[in-house]
Structure 1
Amino acid sequence: MRIRFAAALAFMAMISFGAFARGAEKDSLLTEKPEPQVQNAWFEKIQIRGYAQMRYNGLLESNPDLKCDQCDKSWGGDGGGFFFRRIRIIFSGQIHPRVYFYIQPDFASGGSNMAQIRDAYFDLGLDANNEFRLRIGQSKVPFGFENMQSSQNRLPLDRHDGMNSAVPNERETGVFFYYAPKEIRKRFSNLVSSGLKGSGDYGVFGLGVYNGQGPNALDKNKNLHLVSRITYPFELPSGQIIEGSFQGYTGKYHVNRNNKTDSDQVEFNELRYGPSLIIYPQPFGLQAEYNWGTGPEYDPQTNDVKQSPLGGGYVLASYMMEANSKVIIPFTRYHYFRGGKKFELDATRHRVKELEIGVEWQFNKNFELVTMYTISDRTFENSLDPDNRQKGSLLRLQAQVNF
C-alpha cells in the first residue's frame, strides 16, 4: 500500500514538472534574446578637438624694445601686426581599457606656420581603474599649476616667467608615474569641463624622469632630470574647491654659450622647488605660485655664466560672472622673476616685474576674446647685450576659437 502511494506521488510530481518545463520553454520563446555586443574598432574611439589663437599686440605700445620672445614673438620689435600664436589639433582616445593616447601638433609654432609636435604620449594603466598610470612619451612636466594648465583655459595670454623658465615649452620626453583615486580623477576632469580653469589630470602624486634638454631633445650629459609633485583638490561643504600643491625637480643642464664669454663651462646643476595654491573662481578666484632654486645665469660684470640663485612667482585674482548667457572674467596678475633662463643664449639674465589687467569674454563655448593691458619692467642680458633694461606698457588682444 505504501509502495503504491509513493508511486502515485512520484507520478504526480513528474506530471507537474513536465507542465512547468513546457511553460518555461514557451516563455523563453516569447522572450527576445539579447543582441551580442559589438566592440567599436580602435579608430572609432578617437576624439578630435582643438583651438586657434590670433593676437594683436600693437595698441598703445610705449616701448618697441620691450619684448619677451619666450612669451610672444610678435610682442615688441619692428614687426608685429596680426599673429597666430597657436593653431592646435588634438587627437586622443582610450583605445584599450588600459591604454590612452594623446597627440597634439601645433601648426603656428613660433609664428612660422610650421607644424611641430607638442605632445605625443600614451598612458598605460597599471590597475583596472587606471588609478596608477605610466605616461610614456613627450608631455608636460608636472611642475607648476599654470605650466600644466592648457593655454586654451589660461586667463593671462602668457605663462609667468618665474616657473615657466623651468622647462622650455613646459614639455619633455620621459616616463612619468601618476596616481589619483578614481573620484579625484573625475574631479580633475570636471574642473576643466566646467569652465573653472583646471590644469587637468596629472595625478595626486607624480614622479618622473626626463632628458632635461627640451622637448624631444637628446640628453647631452647622460644625466636624467628627476621631478616630483603632490597636489590635492579639496572640496568644501559649500562646493568651493581649493587645491594645494608642492613640486620640485633636479638635474644637470647643458647651456648654449657664446664662445666670446670668459669660460667654456656648459654643464650646470639646477634645482627648483615651490608651492601652489589655487582657489577656483566660484565666483572669486585666486592663484599663487612661487619657486626657489639655483641654476645657470649670465653675469654681465664678469662676462661669464655662473651657478646662481633664482626665484619667482605670481599672484592672480579673478572673478567669474555670467551676463546674458555670456561668461565674463575680469582678472589681474602680478608676477616677478629673478634668475637665468637656461634655454636662452648664455642662460640670459632676467629681472622681471610685470602687472597685467585684463578681461576674458566668452561669447559662447566656441569663441572668446581677451583684452589685457600690460605694464612691464624687464631686464634681459647676455654676452650679445650685457646692459639691457626695458620699461613700457601695451594693450594686447587675443581672439580664440574652440572646436
Structure 2
Amino acid sequence: MKNYLTSIAMMLIITFVCTTKSKAQEITEISSNWYERMRLGGYTQLRYNRLFETNENLKCEQCDKSLGKDGGFFLRRARIRLAGNVSKRMYAYLQFDMATGVSSSVIHGLGLKDAYFDLALDDERTARFRIGQSKVPYGFENMQSSSNRLALDRNDAINSAAKDERDLGVFFYYAPVDVRQRLSYLTRSGLKGSGDYGMFALGAYNGQGAGRSETNDNLHVVSRFTYPFQLKNEQIIEAGIQAYKGKYNIPISDENLNRQTLWDDERIAASLIVYPQPFGFQAEYNIGKGPQFNTKTMSTELQNLKGGYAQLMYRIQTDKNVIIPFIKYQYYDGGKKFETDARSYLVKDLEVGFELVINKYFEIVMLYMLSDRTFEDALKPVNHQQGNALRIQLQANY
C-alpha cells in the first residue's frame, strides 16, 4: 500500500512538472509575439468651468473651449493609447483622442494625437530616433502629460510655441541609463515629471502643427538640453534650456490690411523644476519673435514676444490619498501664430487650487481662476476681458 501511494505521488509530481514546463514554454512562445507586449491605456477628463463665473465673455480658444458663454459640462480629453516594445530596439506608440472638436456644434469626435516609433541605436536605448507625429521637445509643461499636470491648462507663453504641443517630424534623443531611469521615476512616482524626452534632443519637424501639412517648404529645427540633478537628501531639481527656429504660415481675415502670411518663428526658453518632495517649484520663461496683430495699424507684424509662468506646490501623502495644493501665475505678451491674424495677447492669470488623488484610477482638481486677458485681431480689435471662476475637473485613469 505504501509503495502504491509512493508511485501515485511520483506520477503526480512528474505530471505537474511536465505541465508546468509546457505552460512555461507556451507563455514564452506567446510573449515572443510583439503584439502581446503592447499595452492599452488612457484617461478621461470631465470639466465644468462656470461656477461663480463673473464674466461670460472671458474665453481662451487654446486652453479650454468650454470657458465662458455657452459652456457647460465638457469632455476636455478622452484618450486611448496603445504602446509597447515591438523589439529590443523598437518602441511604438499610438494615441487617439475621442474628445476632439469636429465643428462649433459637435465638440466630441475621434482625432489622432500621437503616431510614432522609436528606433534605438543600442540595447540600453540611450540614443534613439523618434519618427512620426509626437510632442515637440520645447518646454517642460508642453511635454508633461495633461494627466500629470496640476493646473487645468498649459500656460499661454510656452504653449503658443506649438499647436497641440505636437508635430510631424524626426527627433533624436540621448540620455545615459541613469538619467533615463530618473526621468521615468519622476513620472511613475507621482512627482509630476514630464516623461523621458532625453537629456539632449535635436529634431526637425514641419512646424504648422499636429495633423497639418507643411505649407512653406521650410522645416522647423528644435534643440533641448535638460538635466535632473539629485541632491544628497534625494531632492531632484531639473534645469533645462531649449530653442527652435522656422517659418510659419498664419491664417488671416479679410479685414487684415497686411496680406502677408509667411513669417519668421523663433524662440528660446529656460526651465527650472524643483520636484514636490514635498515642497515644489516650477517655472519657465521664453522670449523670441513671431507674427502678432497690431491694433494700431490693423495689420499683422513681426514683433518680439515674452512670457512665462511660476508655480508653487506642496505634496501631502496620506495613508490613502495624495493632496497637492498649488498656486500658479502666468504672463504672456505676444501673438498666437495659429489663431486668426496671429491674434495679439496680453495675459495675466492667477490660479489657486488643489489636486486630490483618490487612488490611481481617479483624481479631482479644483481651482479658482482670476484672469485678465486682452486678445485682439482684425475682427475684434478691442477686446479686454477680466473675470473669475471656479473650475472643476474629474479624471479617470485606465
TM-score normalized with structure 1 length? 0.90
Q: How many residues align?
A: 371
Write out aligned runs for 1:157-168 (5 A). 157-168=152-163
Residue 41 of structure 1 corresponds to 33
Residue 226 of structure 2 corresponds to 231
Write out aligned runs for 1:198-217 (5 A). 198-217=193-212
Write out aligned runs for 1:258-297 (5 A). 258-297=253-292
For 2:256 and 2:383, the matched residues in 1 are separated by 17
Give the partner amino acid of 1:385.
Answer: K
For 2:125 and 2:318, the matched residues in 1 are separated by 39
Residue 100 of structure 2 corresponds to 109
CA displacement at 1:260 relative to structure 2: 2.2
Residue 141 of structure 2 corresponds to 146
Write out aligned runs for 1:4-403 (5 A). 38=29, 40-77=32-69, 79-110=70-101, 112-403=107-398
1:15-49 Cα deviation digits (max 9, x unpaired): xxxxxxxxxxxxxxxxx9x9876352111010011
CA displacement at 1:182 relative to structure 2: 1.1
CA displacement at 1:323 relative to structure 2: 2.8
3-state SS, counterpart of residue 172 of structure 1: strand
For 1:169 and 1:48, the matched residues in 2 are separated by 22
CA displacement at 1:324 relative to structure 2: 4.1
Give the partner amino acid of 2:41.
Answer: R
1:276-334 Cα deviation digits (max 9, x unpaired): 00000000000010000000000011110000000110000000002341100000000
> Are the counterparts in 1 of residues 255 and 379 from structure 2 also a CA contact under 8 Å?
no
For 1:202 and 1:100, the matched residues in 2 are separated by 14
Residue 14 of structure 2 corresponds to none
For 1:76 and 1:303, the matched residues in 2 are separated by 26
For 1:323 and 1:123, the matched residues in 2 are separated by 38
For 2:269 and 2:73, the matched residues in 1 are separated by 36
TM-score normalized with structure 2 length? 0.91
Structure 2 unmatched ranges of 5 or more: 1-17
For 2:199 and 2:317, the matched residues in 1 are separated by 31
For 1:87 and 1:314, the matched residues in 2 are separated by 27
CA displacement at 1:187 relative to structure 2: 1.0
CA displacement at 1:261 relative to structure 2: 1.4
For 2:125 and 2:322, the matched residues in 1 are separated by 34
Give the partner amino acid of 2:32.
Answer: N
For 2:243 and 2:74, the matched residues in 1 are separated by 34
For 2:385 and 2:212, the matched residues in 1 are separated by 32
3-state SS, counterpart of residue 180 of structure 2: helix
CA displacement at 1:69 relative to structure 2: 1.4
CA displacement at 1:57 relative to structure 2: 0.7
Q: Superposition RMSD on alpha carbons, in Å?
A: 1.4
Give the partner amino acid of 1:72.
Answer: D
Structure 1 unmatched ranges of 5 or more: 1-31
Q: Which has the larger radius of gyration?
A: 1
Greater shift after overlay, 152-161 or 315-324?
315-324
1:229-256 Cα deviation digits (max 9, x unpaired): 0000011111000000000000000011
For 1:322 and 1:185, the matched residues in 2 are separated by 25
3-state SS, counterpart of residue 146 of structure 1: helix
CA displacement at 1:54 relative to structure 2: 0.1
